[in-house]
Each structure stands twice: as C-alpha cells, then as structure tokens.
Structure 1
C-alpha cells in the first residue's frame, strides 16, 4: 500500500467495544490514516449492509465479537490485504485460507499482556504476604496475627515458578526483576541462556512444581497443554503452595485442583476456570484459600485504548508501506494462544 493511498478499512467486532478501543482522539488519528466509517461496525458478515463494505475493504479492524473469517467471508472481500486485531488471540478468528490468500495478520496481544502481567505480579506479592489467609483470620477473630502465625509470611527469597515464556510470561518476568524473588521458568521453546537473560532459571515442569512456593501459569491453550497440570503434577506442589492461573482454565485438571483446594493443601488465585464461569454450587466460591475473579486480568475499561493504539500504529505502518510490528505468522498458531 503506497503512502499516498489511504487504505479502505472496516470495523468488525461487537460495537460495544469500539468507544473504549478508539476514544475520540485516537479515532481521529485512525481516520487520518484510513478510509473508515466509524458508524459501520460489522458483527455478521452475511448481513446485507456488510456486503458492499467487505467488497471494498483492504483492511479489517477486528476485535472481540468478530465472527470467524471463513472461506465465504474471504470470497466476499477480494481486496482484503490485512486483518488488524484489537484484542489478543486470533486463533478462533482466522484459518489457513487467510494465509493462503496472502493476507497479513496483526494482533494487539502484546498490549493485552500488560494488564495480565500486572494483575499477576500484584497477586504474587499479595500471596507472598499470605494476605488472603490473614484477611480471613482477621474477619473471624478481629485480632492481629501472632509471630508464630506470620513466621512463614513474606516475599524475601520467595520462589516463584513461571510456566510459559509467552508474551504475558515475559512481561511478568520483567516485572519480577526488582523484587527479591528466586524465579524458575519452564518453557519447552526456551533454552537456559535465554531463560537467564529473562531473569529466571530454566527447569523441568516437574522441578518447577516441586520447588516453587508460588506457581503462575502463562502457557498457551493448545492441544499439548490441555490439563498439563493434572492430578499427579498438582500433587508435586509443596504443601501450602499457591497456584495462580490467568491463562486458561483448560490447562488445569479442574476436579483434581478442586480436591486439593477443598483439602486445604494448596491455595489458588484463579482469574480463569474450567468451566467458565463456574456453576453456582462450586465449592471454590466459598473456600477461604481460593481467590476467584471473573476473568478481569486482561484489558478492561481504559486499558482497551492500549489495544486500539497498537492497531492504529499498525495501520500507519501499512499505509506507509512498512512491515507490521506485531504480525502473527501462520507457523505461530501451533504454539501460541
């Protein structure tokens, strides 16, 4: 796309997200870079109003709520050159046909990694101070804990195990650097030298589980990682250990984790579960050693603008004839979320 040409673009997402992704100043910048109608936000590619827009579109600006880009949709968009996703994973959005057509794909997943890593860091620090246990005890007794009750509390030298050097995992490793933690990392695609550069010691999954006080999951949800923390591996986590999951609930054997939590041997901070949400009668809602949040670690509220900024940056690069900075390649789908 030459710099003199403003590419024709179309929004394809749930329109409820549009004002947060692209507040007025950012929308104005976007409209200086592309020919786009902010009043047209496609949710159904088969709708009559979508047909003329798709026929002209060179760029689709997608987000949560965008339907899958199937063969029929791509046939209706013969001029499509790029899909810029103002969200995280594109796995459910795109298929082989897109790359066969030579359409470039970009994702704002790097921007979405920021709040997830920040949430995780906050929870690691709170877990190291045994905050949730002390809160429950304080509610029940209205007294301060004794020296004996705080003997195992604190973040000095706490061993944190990070499973997955994903974008979130890497951002978390960066955020952990200023603290007095010992950090372990397991990732089959990382070697010991790279792990050290990230501020961690590379270990096997079993060693990480056996030697970590706090285990934080950041692996992708792919067939190889389904139930990767099964009953046997959960049993490796030391008594009193904490599991943090901000990735996907499917990475953990839910029944096995529930048994460990009901028994009180482990604690957990879960922003994702399997199923999601949990049924109303799940014991995890009531256990004092479980801290549940409703999938809020990712971008919410004003954090969505960060995703919009990435998309506008990418659109400006396209318009200038530059390569995408956050391109998702076909080969990446085999090992990323």
Structure 2
C-alpha cells in the first residue's frame, strides 16, 4: 500500500476514508494549528522520506526540497493556488503531478468580503465596542444612536470587482442580491460571459473611477502585482472603500498608506505585506472608521476544511483509477519521461 503524509488541515472523517486507499500519517500543522509547528526545509525533507504522496498545506516545497525527496510521486495541495508554496516547475521536471483543491474558499471568501463591505457601510464594530465599554445608559443613549448616522445602505451602490474567478463571481451574486450595481475588470472574461453574469466589464481606470467599493479578487502575477497603484487609488471617489481579501501584493502599500493617512479613501484589509504585522505598522495609526483590519481570515471556515478534504479524496480516487481529475496544476507533466518513473506508479493503480 502506498504511503501518504499530510501536513495540512484535514477533516477526520475524510482522513479515515483516505486510509482505506493508502497508509496515511499526519504531522505538524495538520494536528496543531500553531504556526510554529509548520515544518522548515530540513524537517519537511526528513519527514517526507519514504512517502509516496504528500498532502501539502503551507510548508515550502522548494526545488531543493523536492529533489531531496526521491520517494515522492504525487502531491495533493489543499490550496486553490498551489504555486504559492510549491515549485510547480520542479515537480514537472521530476515527474510529480500536483493535484489541488480548487474552489475550497468559493463560499467563505465571498461571504467574508461582503461582510467587510457591510461593516464599512454600517459602523457596527464601533457601536458594539462603545456599547460594551460604556454600557447603554440614559446618559449615552443619544450618542450611541448617533454613531449609526454615518450608516449607508448597500442598495444602489456600485461595487467594482477586480478578478472574476470563483470568488469574484460569488461576490457579484451576493452584491446583486442586495440590489447593488456590479462592474468588473478581468482581461480573461469576455463580454458575453459578463452579460450572463449581469455585470458590466470596464477598464481598471473606469472601475476605480466609478465604484463605491473596489474589491480585489485577482491572483498575484507579474501583471497584477501592485495593480492598485497610486494613480488608480487617487482616481477613487472621495470616501470610496478599497477591500482586499486576496493578496497584499496587489496593492502599492505606500500609496495606500498615503491615501488613508490623507483621508482620501477608506479600506478593509485582510491581507498584509508582512504577516503577522510588526507592532509599529502604519495600519494601527489609521482610525477604525477609515480602516477595518482582520488577520487573514477570509478563507477560514469550518466547512472549508471538510470541502478541501473531500475534493482531494475525489481527485486521488480519480487519479488512481487512471483518469485525470480536473484540477491538475501541471498537466504538462504527463508528457515527461520522468513521469514514467514517478507519478505513473500511482496512476491507474486502483
């Protein structure tokens, strides 16, 4: 029986089902969510010796790591973007297919993002904080109620979504349910598909000009890095809100800091250039009515772990039956001679 090592978050029920297919062991972050339990390079190399399959979460699978794990034949990534911690090119060179759990956050991220928008529209966080700190008394009754005078309704507002993948489309549907006007930017989505989604495709410049909420949902590539530039941030309407639950690298952080310091715009940020943040980070200087801060929570939910576990189980069973699952990060690997000595040993082995 083939051996599998899991270092990612995984659902116990699906763990038992995996064990009907392979010998499965779990270590590190898989069992203890303390970030310090994530394995460094030497430890992950040592841990993977003798294992045929690896369920990967956050450990860095660099070229050096992969070349020093000669038994590894298949990688299953719980992430929607396995390239963030796995050297996909090195896997292809070595003949190791990478299957991944696409869409694991397609509900949690749009829900969380819409919640962030709502919290910027309605000062619930501030009102609740004052309520708990001062309690609700006859003396502060009017002041507490007046906190909500800045509240605005979502209906009729324009949301501009940058990146119309699963998460972006999921957010669009939620915004439309609240009678918002949805505009979008994505060079890989054509006009016909946009019409089917009942949204208007615009250039980035037009989107930043018109949106009350600009929401970043794109992947980080050379083209998208710092796409929310100083020029675009300065085009936003006064008081408009930038929401980033994708990746910090999509934004020119210095430009965003300047825009928020000057009170030009507002923002809701779930991702940052450095995580965790240093104690002297500039974000702590911005008042909470202009900046909502959350510590990289958008993709986290109880259901996500179950969903990613199920998706990887399905991918592995399909692969072991000799069929290609839909979510392969490096399809070109199957044409490599190196595949015959590695990944092919699992392909169709059921």
TM-score, normalised to structure 1, is 0.81
Distance 2:147 2:302 in 1: 40
2:203 aligned partner: 204
Deviations 1:234-253 (A, max 9, x none): 00110010110011112111
Which residue of structure 1 lines up, in the alignment, with residue 101 of structure 2? 108
Distance 1:146 1:219, change over 3 A: closer
Deviates more, 1:277-286 or 1:158-167: 277-286
Query: 1:319 Cα deviation (Å)?
Result: 2.5
Task: Give 2:179's aligned residue.
Answer: 180
Q: Deviations over 1:60-96 (max 9, x none)?
A: 222222x31526634643561x311122321131231
Q: Secondary structure at the match of 1:298?
A: coil
Q: Which moved more, 1:70-79 or 1:312-321?
A: 70-79
Cα-to-partner distance string for 1:100-146 (whole Å, 9 max, x where unaligned): 34432221241133311110021223333455576689889724239
| Cα deviation digits, residues 23-82 of structure 1 (max 9, x gap) | 1x22111111223344798943432x642x13xx1x3222222x31526634643561x3
Instruction: Please state how far the C-alpha of 1:263 moved relative to its aligned partner.
Output: 1.8
Moved more, 207-216 or 94-103: 94-103
Does residue 36 of structure 1 match 2:29? no
Q: Secondary structure at the match of 1:142?
A: helix
Match of 2:336?
none
Match of 1:313 in 2: 314
Relative to structure 1, is the Cα distance of residues 133 and 72 closer, same or farther in structure 2, using a 3 angstrom cutoff?
closer
Task: Find the counterpart in structure 2 of residue 334 from structure 1.
Answer: none
Residue 55 of structure 2: aligned partner? 61
With over 3 angstroms needed to count, the CA separation of the structure-2 counterparts of 1:242 and 1:135, relative to structure 1, is farther
Q: 1:205 to 1:136 in 2, by over 3 A?
A: farther
Q: 1:179 Cα deviation (Å)?
A: 2.2
CA gap 1:108/1:78 in 2 versus in 1, 3 angstroms: same
Per-residue deviation, 1:316: 1.9
Stretches (4+) displaced over 6 A: 39-42, 133-141
Question: Mean Cα displacement is larger for which, 182-191 or 218-227?
Answer: 218-227
Corresponding position: 1:95 with 2:83:
no
Q: How large is the Cα RMSD of the aligned pairs?
A: 3.0
Q: Retained in 2: the 8 A contact 1:9–1:61?
A: no
SS at match of 1:257: helix
CA distance in 2, matches of 1:245, 1:255: 15
Secondary structure of 1:185's aligned partner: strand
Unpaired stretches in structure 1, ≥5 consecutive residues: 1-5, 332-337
Deviation (angstroms), 1:190? 1.3
Q: Aligned with 1:223: secondary structure?
A: coil
Q: Distance in 1 between matches of 2:27 and 2:222?
A: 39
Name 1:3's counterpart in structure 2: none
2:213: which partner in 1? 214
